[in-house]
A and B are shown apart, each in its own frame.
Chain A
Amino acid sequence: MRIGKTVSTRITKTLTYILLIIGSAIFMLPFVWLVRSSFMELGQIFIIPPEWIPKPFRWQNYIEALTAAPFLKYFQNTLKILLFNESGVVLTSIICAYSFARLRWPGRDFIFAILLTSLMLPYAVTLIPTFILWKMLGGLNTFFPLTVPAWFGGGVFYIFLLRQFFLTIPYELDEAAYMDGANPLKVLWSIVVPLSKPAVITVAIFNFIGVWNDLLGPIIYLSDPDKYTLAIGLSVFRSMYTAQWHYLMAASVVVLLPVILVFFIGQRYFIQGITLTGLKG
């Protein structure tokens, strides 16, 4: 018996919804946990089996957490770092990835491989040499170590990512543009980038999150408390002897919200980009 097309689509759709809903329930757990703990008293957070309704419902956690440290100032600092960093990463990673993906030059793949090795040494050992380097450059207690490197390609991770995406775009499009007298840069901006929106957005989102949550960089390089960032603010709630979990949760939720928002908005632009019609023949 041949199942009709609409019926089989409906079955697939229902199955999809079921999987999505089950999956969502599972994947939402950490976030739900975070939020429910943020409204609870310290003692109630730890009760096993866990209780899911805060009793009493402590809105005050949010106020008390956000006033325990100058979070507004931390927010401003994080924003400052972010603006400079994000623009650098997006811009330069696109340009560099394009070069590694679509332009031929001697030593290209070898150099790319060398760049990749920079990801293979853990921070614990490169921390001190890098710190001393920044000391020599006069960057200690400034935002420079956190922003300037972003303008130099933004890191191999993003270059590699974009390179892979650029390589999926048919070269015929480039050729057509070159025949019209374009130079590589024009081809990049008018052809390659528009077709790579999902990848570029991914880079933007990931970098945003990376900068937003970066704790080690600011702690190591900043010494003035009025330069501290949001991530440092969060770490105040967890110290040697005690952890004020309820405040930590509340502050974490607040710090998390912009990240969620950025992702929510960004992923809307994940749209099918490539059409091949008109290229063959």
Chain B
Amino acid sequence: MKKSLWVAALSVVLILGMTVSAFTAPVELIYTYWGSQLERDAQAKMCREFENAYQDIFPGIKVKDIYIPSNYDEKINTMVAAGEPPHVAQLGEGLSLDWAERGVLMDIMPLIKEDKDSSVKVENRISMTWYWYDKGKKTIGTNLAAEVMVLWYNKEIFDKAGIPYPSANPEAWTWDKFLDAAMKLTVDRNGKHPGDPGFDPSNIDTYGVAFGTWWATILPFIWSNGGDICDSEGKVPTINRPASVEAIQKLADLMLKYHVAPTPTQMQAFPALRIALQTKKVAMYIDGQWALLDLGQMAKEGRIKLGVAPLPKLKKPICLELGSPNVMFTVSAQQHLKEAWEFYKWTTNSEKVLPVIRGGLWMPLQKWWYTDPKYLEKWLDPEVHPKEYKPAVIDYLLKYGRKSPSYYLRNWNQISDIMYQELSNVWLGKVSVKAACDNMATKIKPLLTGRYDK
């Protein structure tokens, strides 16, 4: 009798001990991310702060932050293929939803529903930053930050030419006004403008505007003109419909007809557009708002009089929102779900990465940053952010934001690569816009297999 009592007691103790240790074994979360030194330092700091903040709740918790400065895709692929993905990671947007559908990434909708933390509620974040799949029922989360395409300009050049600054009101800044300003600001080495007799397009000193020829600078204008790459189901190409063709034609005309913008070839003469803006080689240029990191620094040092404006509208204002998601990998996160979830929320709570936001590289995710004066003050650094930043960028996103196809279109990487290649001959003037768009339509047709969120 006594013996069996002992055995029972011992077993209970053993089981209790194992359960307790299972709950209290220190957890090490793995987080992978990319970026420049600023992001590296900010994210590393964010991880350390998480460890400190959660020591009481998860004793011994550690975050192993793996900064991968190069070859990120290869590294993540190998980790995933070998069955040891990180718990939380930054991920290229192209394959994320594909992986989500296959269960490799976690659907965090159930976790959001259960959680009281308002920073992660769907309605509290900029809606365009969410990645939806399974007909919009599931989500892998949002970007690390909101990012949009804007128009940067050098106020000094405008001052000298006596031209009014681009309007910060997306409705008022029309394409015609934009083209007009560009023509007045483009000047060749003899001081002539486009349209003047004797204007020499091969000897331009200052260009009115410049833009890279990737999808993010082209798509907003296609949308603004009422066109699109494909229909709303993501199955039929519409890139060669008149509205789309017209928009691309207008961009091509900037380079080839009006000579107010450099061709990609000519742009190699100044590989960094932000430098070109500062050295007055271009008066305006289209880029992501993230360029503020460098431009703002230059402005702070007094080396440039910086201005920012929304993109000029063709038919209606559109603000392209893009980015890449932070995700949780199912295999790893499931094992320490509570900890991984808290960490996930931490990484996407913009408060925790304030230096990067204030530096201008990232825009915050939570809506209250855009409307609450307290948060706006925390965000905007008057020495870095131009004073028209609020209407030109913040409100621009809030009112006219539209998410990039990377959030929903299947085979987006291949489609955008095809766009890039096909249009490359348009900028060289070798092929008409309509012909290139027809080619694109044919080539992307087999790839248009629908959307993740419908």
Contacts and interface: CB of A to CB of B under 8 A. Distances in A.
Q: Do A and B come from one complex?
A: yes
B74 A42 contact: no
B35 A128 contact: no
A105 to B, nearest CB: 38
Given A46-B270, A132-B81, A135-B84, A219 B294 contact: no
B124 interface: no
Contacts of B82: 128, 131-132, 135, 140
Contacts of B288: 241
B214 to A, nearest CB: 13
Contacts of A240: 34-36
Interface stretch (A19-27, A193-201, A231-239, A273-281): A231-239
A81 interface: no
Given A46-B276, A48-B270, A232-B69, 16 more contacts: A42-B275, A46-B271, A46-B275, A68-B37, A127-B78, A128-B82, A131-B81, A132-B81, A135-B82, A216-B74, A223-B66, A232-B70, A239-B34, A239-B39, A241-B36, A241-B290
Interface of A: 42-43, 46-48, 68-69, 127-128, 131-132, 135, 140, 215-216, 219-220, 223, 225, 232, 235-236, 238-242, 244
B69 A235 contact: yes
A236 B37 contact: yes
A69 B36 CA distance: 11
Nearest to A225: B67
B270 A219 contact: no
A215 B70 CA distance: 8
A242 B78 contact: no
- Chain B interface main SS type: mixed
Contacts of A239: 34-36, 39, 69
28 contacts: A46-B271, A68-B37, A69-B37, A127-B74, A127-B77, A128-B82, A131-B82, A132-B81, A135-B84, A219-B69, A219-B70, A219-B75, A220-B74, A220-B78, A223-B30, A232-B70, A236-B36, A236-B40, A236-B69, A238-B69, A239-B36, A239-B69, A240-B34, A241-B288, A241-B290, A241-B291, A241-B361, A242-B294
B269 interface: yes
Interface of B: 30, 34-37, 39-40, 64, 66-71, 74-75, 77-78, 81-84, 269-272, 275-276, 278-279, 288, 290-291, 293-294, 361
A127 B279 CA distance: 44
A216 B67 CA distance: 14
Contacts of B34: 239-240
Contacts of B81: 128, 131-132
B23 to A, nearest CB: 27
Contacts of A220: 71, 74-75, 78
Nearest to A131: B78
A235 B293 CA distance: 19
B68 A242 contact: no
A241 B293 contact: yes
A219 B252 CA distance: 41
A42 B84 CA distance: 40
Q: Which 10 A-B pairs have the closest CB atoms?
A: A235-B70, A239-B36, A131-B78, A48-B269, A235-B69, A128-B81, A236-B69, A135-B82, A43-B275, A219-B71
Contacts of A69: 37
A171 to B, nearest CB: 47
Nearest to A123: B74
A137 to B, nearest CB: 12
B444 to A, nearest CB: 24
Contacts of A46: 270-272, 275-276
A219 B68 contact: yes
| Most B Cβ at <10 Å: residue of A68, A127, A215, A241 | A241
Contacts of A140: 82, 84
A113 to B, nearest CB: 30
Contacts of B293: 241-242
Contacts of B30: 223
Contacts of B75: 219-220
A140 B66 CA distance: 14
Contacts of B279: 43, 47
B64 A43 contact: no
A236 B34 CA distance: 9
B272 A216 contact: no
Contacts of B290: 241
Nearest to B30: A223
Q: Quick one: which of B75, B78, B270 has the most chain A CB within 10 A?
A: B78
Contacts of A216: 71, 74
Contacts of B35: 239-240
B78 A215 contact: no
Contact of B64 (A48, A223, A232): A223
Contacts of B361: 241
Nearest to A245: B272
Nearest to B361: A241
A127 B71 CA distance: 12
B395 to A, nearest CB: 24
A228 to B, nearest CB: 9
B441 to A, nearest CB: 30
Nearest to B293: A242
B161 to A, nearest CB: 23
A216 B271 CA distance: 26
A242 B36 CA distance: 7
B152 to A, nearest CB: 14
Nearest to A49: B269
A219 B68 CA distance: 7
A135 B276 CA distance: 48
A128 B81 CA distance: 7
A238 B34 CA distance: 11
Given A46-B275, A128-B77, A244 B67 contact: no
Contacts of B64: 223
Contacts of B84: 135, 140
Contacts of A135: 82-84
A241 B289 CA distance: 11
B420 to A, nearest CB: 17
Nearest to A242: B36
